[in-house]
Amino acid sequence: MKITAFLPCRAGSRRVPNTNTRPFADEAEGLLGIKLAQLMATREIDEIVLSTHEPLVIEIGSGISKGALGASESVCGRTSSAAPPPRPMR
C-alpha cells in the first residue's frame, strides 16, 4: 500500500508573516523545514505532496526527495473556501 502525506502550507499568516518559513530553533527553513524532515524520515511514507502557491515554500519544498507540488491561488489562497468538516460517524 502506498502512503502519501498531504501538507498544505502558506508562508505565514496576516498576523504573523513568514510563520512557517522563518528560522526557528536550529532550522534555517523554519517550521516547514522541520515538518518536511520529519516526513522524509518516516519510512512508511512513500510520497509527500506539498500544496502551496508561495514561492518560498515551493523553494524549500523543492529539496524534498519524495516529491512536491505547487498549487494555484484559487486552491490555497486567502479567498479560497473549504468544505465543512465531515460529521462524526455514530
For residue range 21-32, list pLDDT tens digits in order.
999 999 999 999
Average pLDDT over residues 5-23: 88
Residue 33's SS3 state is helix
- 83, pLDDT greater than 70: no
Locate 73 and state its grid cell.
491561488
Predicted TM-score of the model (pTM): 0.72
Nearest to 33 by CA among 49, 57, 52, 14: 57
Kindly list the domain boundaries of the chain, sorted by start residue. 4-76
pLDDT band of 90, cuts 50, 70, 90: very low
| The three three-digit cell numbers of residue 57, written as one number | 515554500
Q: What pLDDT digit, counting tens, does each position of 31-79 carry?
A: 999 999 999 999 999 988 888 888 888 888 887 777 655 555 544 555 5
